[in-house]
């Protein structure tokens, strides 16, 4: 169970991302807790509005819960993961939204917590532990949350009987082709696979001992090494977009400078663009455009088929859920009709309220 957390603001944008049905085959808002709003967008805006009365600029803590590719977890197992996250992070009583995304047959979850809470006692200074005269609205401090989520992830793998990835056993064995969302988004804009880009750039860097040698390998793949305005070294893609080198290598700028020296010693982005423009002849550009057009034409019927299947699946799920809700309502009404009238009915209602007695057990068994 891979966990990735982040603190963030902008509830409107977060809601749009979580409800994005364009990049996901299926989106399901599974749970909303601790807000008056009954829809995801309203709930996130409600949390954000509460934060406006404080200095908190990032009222949300988002955790992406991503099972291993070989695992097919039940919703109960996901729920157990959510419970452990909020118990270990101290978020059990905080507002929460759970959204499931499914794409290419794989499901992952986004859990968004509101960080704000009413502090009833002093938490720092000489009065630590003493009761405040009035509650104070504060944002939950989530220090070192990345390392804490890593530990929770390791525990969840053990608790759920999942194979622990090599990268979690030993950081040195992490998959070098893994990429973050920013890298994925940039590669998508270029029409490239981020793993391919990371592999090309990573291998060029690994087997080069100087900027000249590194750039020579990049040139073979229609890219150039350059210096960016603020990001140190960048790799200029043949489309003209600058790729931050440290992001595609997964190392710090200091480690890159140790191998390549200072960025000032290499060409600027504008110089690299001009070089690529001269090298990319009109004939080569036409060939690339023709190849892209051919690929798009061959891909079009497959994309259409996927869209059709996605639409049919979504309709099937809506029909199924509507039928479940209708049945749930009918059975609840049938159970209510079996509660006796008068004094005996008060006894039945008391049994149901406290979950004791034969009627309560019978109803619980039927619901299960």
Per residue in 52-99, pLDDT tens? 888 899 999 999 999 887 778 889 999 999 999 999 999 999 999 999
Sheet of 224-227: strands edge to edge?
Answer: 224-227, 233-236, 242-244
Q: Does residue 37 register a pLDDT over 80?
A: yes
Using alpha carbons, select from 240, 233, 232 the residue that is nearest to residue 270: 240
| Per-residue model confidence as pLDDT tens digits over 317-337 | 999 999 999 999 999 999 999
- Phi, psi of 115, deg, nearest 5: -80, -20
- Output the pLDDT for position 84: 94
Out of 34-38, 130-134, 245-249, pick the least confident.
Answer: 245-249
Q: Does residue 177 register a pLDDT over 50?
A: no
Instruction: Please enumerate, as own/partner, the contacts of 39-47 that have beta carbons within 8 Å and a separation of 24 or more.
Output: 40/15, 40/97, 40/99, 41/11, 41/12, 41/15, 43/95, 43/97, 44/11, 44/12, 44/14, 44/15, 44/97, 44/112, 45/11, 45/12, 45/15, 47/11, 47/95, 47/114, 47/116
Distance CA 302, CA 311 (A): 14
pLDDT interval class at 100 (50, 70, 90): very high
Helical residues (DSSP H) of 117-260, grouped into ranges? 145-159, 166-169, 181-190, 194-206, 211-219, 245-249, 253-260
Question: Domains plus CATH for the chain?
Answer: 2-173 (3.30.930), 181-280 (no CATH)
- Output the pLDDT for position 218: 87
- Output the pLDDT for position 345: 92
Distance CA 117, CA 63 (A): 18
Q: Does residue 261 register a pLDDT over 90?
A: no
Distance CA 59, CA 140 (A): 9
User: Between helices 358-367 and 282-337, what is the axis angle to 10°?
Assistant: 150
Residue predicted with more confidence, 16 or 283? 16
Residue predicted with more confidence, 189 or 130? 130
Tell me what percent of the residues of the chain surpass a pLDDT of 70.
91
Sign of CA dihedral 24, 70, 165, 207: negative
The radius of gyration of the chain's CA atoms, rounded to the nearest angstrom, is 27
- Output the pLDDT for position 81: 93
**Coil, strand or helix at 131:** strand
- Output the pLDDT for position 160: 84
Using alpha carbons, select from 267, 264, 246 the residue that is nearest to residue 255: 246
Residue predicted with more confidence, 248 or 59? 59
| Per-residue model confidence as pLDDT tens digits over 190-228 | 667 778 888 888 888 888 878 888 888 888 888 889 988
Distance CA 222, CA 14 (A): 36
Tell me what percent of the residues of the chain surpass a pLDDT of 90.
41
Rounded to an integer, the average pLDDT of 228-252 is: 82
- Which residue's entry shows tokens 């550009």? 285
- Output the pLDDT for position 336: 93
Helical residues (DSSP H) of 36-144, grouped into ranges? 40-51, 75-89
Give the bridge partners for 88, in sequence order: none
């Amino acid at each position: 169970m891979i966990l990735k957390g982040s603190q963030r603001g902008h509830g409107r944008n977060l809601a749009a991302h979580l409800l994005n049905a364009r990049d996901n085959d299926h989106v399901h808002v599974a749970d909303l807790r601790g807000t008056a709003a009954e829809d995801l967008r309203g709930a996130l805006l409600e949390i954000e509005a509460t934060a406006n009365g404080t200095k908190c600029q990032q009222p949300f803590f988002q955790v992406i819960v991503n099972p291993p590719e070989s695992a097919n977890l039940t919703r109960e197992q996901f729920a157990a993961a959510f419970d452990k996250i909020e118990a270990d992070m101290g978020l059990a009583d905080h507002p929460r939204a759970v959204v499931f995304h499914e794409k290419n047959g794989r499901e992952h979850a986004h859990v968004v917590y509101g960080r704000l809470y009413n502090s009833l006692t002093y938490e720092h200074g000489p009065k630590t532990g003493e009761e405040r005269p009035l509650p104070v609205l504060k944002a939950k401090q989530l220090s070192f949350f990345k390392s804490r989520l890593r530990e929770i992830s390791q525990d969840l793998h053990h608790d759920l009987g999942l194979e622990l990835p090599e990268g979690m056993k030993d950081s040195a064995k992490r998959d070098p082709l893994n990429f973050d969302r920013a890298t994925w988004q940039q590669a998508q804009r270029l029409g490239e696979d981020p793993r391919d880009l990371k592999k090309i750039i990573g291998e060029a860097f690994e087997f080069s001992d100087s900027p000249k040698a590194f750039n020579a390998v990049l040139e073979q793949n229609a890219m150039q090494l350059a210096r960016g305005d603020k990001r140190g070294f960048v790799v200029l893609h043949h489309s003209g977009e600058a790729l931050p080198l440290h992001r595609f290598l997964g190392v710090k700028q200091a480690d890159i400078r140790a191998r390549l020296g200072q960025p000032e010693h290499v060409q600027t982005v504008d110089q690299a663009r001009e070089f690529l423009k001269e090298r990319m002849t009109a004939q080569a550009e036409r060939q690339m455009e023709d190849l892209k057009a051919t690929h798009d034409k061959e891909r079009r019927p497959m994309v259409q088929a996927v869209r059709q299947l996605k639409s049919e699946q979504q309709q099937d799920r809506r029909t199924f859920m509507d039928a479940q809700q209708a049945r749930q309502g009918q059975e609840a009404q049938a159970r209510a009709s079996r509660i006796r009238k008068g004094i005996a009915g008060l006894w039945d209602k008391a049994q149901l309220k406290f979950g004791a007695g034969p009627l309560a057990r019978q109803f619980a068994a039927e619901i299960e």
